[in-house]
Amino acid sequence: MTIQAELKQIEESAAYLRAALPQLPEVAMILGSGLGVLADSLEHATTIAYHNIPHFPVSTVEGHAGELVVGELSGKQVVIMKGRFHMYEGYSATEVSFPIRVLKTLGIKTLIVTNAAGGINTAYASGELMLIEDHINFTGRNPLIGPNADAFGVRFPDMSEAYSKRLRALAHETATAQGFTLQEGVYVGLLGPSYETPAEIRMFRVLGADAVGMSTVSEVLVARHAGIEVLGISCISNMAAGILDQPLSHEEVMETTERVKGKFLALVKGIVPKI
C-alpha cells in the first residue's frame, strides 16, 4: 500500500470514530490477553466492534475481544482497545499498529500498553506485574519501514526513552500506595506463535531480557514515532520455557491473568488520574 493510501485509510477510520463518539479520548490503552476486563469499568461507555470501523483489522485469538470501548475512567476520557493484532495472525507490523495512528489522529497523547509475558528473570514469579523499562525488538520487523509518514513523525525516531520515565515513576508510586511492588525490566518481543525453546530463553537472558512476549513492540514504535508518551505493563503469566519443569500453554496464561486482574485493574485505575 502507498503511504497516501494508508493516510487516507487512517483518516477514514478516524472520521468514523469522531462521528460515533460523544467525546474524544486523551488516553489510550491496549489490553492484552485476559486483561480486557478493565473496559467494564468505564463509565458512560460507547462500544464499537472493530469490524464496524473502516479499515480496522479484526483479532482472531481467544482472549482478545475485538472492541474499542470509549468512556470515563477515574475522571479521564479513555479509549480501550480490547484485543490487539499480532504478527503471528498474519498481519504485517504496519497493520498491527494501524490503530495507534488512528488514535493519534483522534488526539490521544498517552498510551498504556499491557500484555501477558513469560518471565525470563528467575527472580520473577508468575502473577507479578512488570513495568516495561525498555524493549528488544527481536521480531525482525519494523512498522516504520517504507516511505516515512511525515504527518506523524520523523524518519529516524529516537528510542532512547521509549517507555516514559515519568509514567514509570507514577506507576511505582501508585503500586506502593496500594501495598505492592512492581518489577521493572526489559521486554523482548518475538513473532511467535510457538513459545520459545529453553535454549532461546537462556540466550535472551544473556542479552538482557527479563520477560518475553509476542506483541507490544510494533505498537510502541509507531506510538513513539508519533510522539505519544508510553507506559508498558506486563503481567508475568508464566515462567518462560525451561525455567520450570513443565510445558507452557495458553490456558496457563489465561488462568494467571484471570487471577491477577484485580491488582492490575486497581493499578491502572490509580495511575490514570495522575497522568
Among 248, 260, 268, 271, binds ligand HPA (CB under 6 A): 248
Among 98, 195, 204, 264, binds ligand HPA (CB under 6 A): 195
Q: Is 238 in the site for ligand HPA (CB under 6 A)?
A: yes
Given the rule CB under 6 A, which of 14-22, 43-51, 84-92, 212-220 is the region that contacts ligand HPA? Answer: 212-220
Given the rule CB under 6 A, which of 23-31, 48-56, 60-68, 232-240 is the region that contacts ligand HPA? Answer: 232-240
Q: Are 159 and 232 in contact (CB under 8 A)?
A: no
Q: Is 233 in the site for ligand HPA (CB under 6 A)?
A: no
Q: Is 196 in the site for ligand HPA (CB under 6 A)?
A: yes
Residue 137 bears catalytic tag: no
How many residues form the binding site for ligand HPA (CB under 6 A)?
Answer: 13
Q: Is 243 in the site for ligand HPA (CB under 6 A)?
A: no
Given the rule CB under 6 A, which of 137-145, 160-168, 209-217, 221-229 is the region that contacts ligand HPA? Answer: 209-217
CA separation for the pair 245, 185 (Å, rounded): 24
Point out the catalytic residue in the list 250, 252, 255, 266.
250
Is beta strand 67-73 parallel, antiparallel or unpaired with respect to 43-49?
antiparallel
Q: Binding to ligand HPA (CB under 6 A): which residues in 104-133?
A: 116-118
CA separation for the pair 61, 40 (Å, rounded): 20
Closer residue to ligand HPA (CB): 147 or 198: 198
Given the rule CB under 6 A, which of 20-28, 54-62, 99-107, 233-241 is the region that contacts ligand HPA? Answer: 233-241
Reduced 3-state DSSP string for the chain? CCHHHHHHHHHHHHHHHHHHCCCCCCEEEEECCCCHHHHHHCEEEEEEEHHHCCCCCCCCCCCCCCEEEEEEECCEEEEEEECCCCHHHCCCHHHHHHHHHHHHHHCCCEEEEEEEEEECCCCCCCCCEEEEEEEEECCCCCCCCCCCCCCCCCCCCCCCCCCCHHHHHHHHHHHHHCCCCCEEEEEEECCCCCCCCHHHHHHHHHCCCCEEECCCHHHHHHHHHCCCEEEEEEEEEEECCCCCCCCCCHHHHHHHHHHHHHHHHHHHHHHHHHC
Among 14, 106, 212, 223, binds ligand HPA (CB under 6 A): 212
Residue 88 bears catalytic tag: yes
- Minimum CB separation of residue 32 from ligand HPA in Å reads 8
Q: Is 253 in the site for ligand HPA (CB under 6 A)?
A: yes
Point out the catalytic residue in the list 121, 200, 238, 241.
238
What are the catalytic residues? 33, 64, 86, 88-89, 116, 214-215, 238, 250
Q: Which residues bind ligand HPA (CB under 6 A)?
A: 116-118, 195-196, 212-214, 237-238, 240, 248, 253
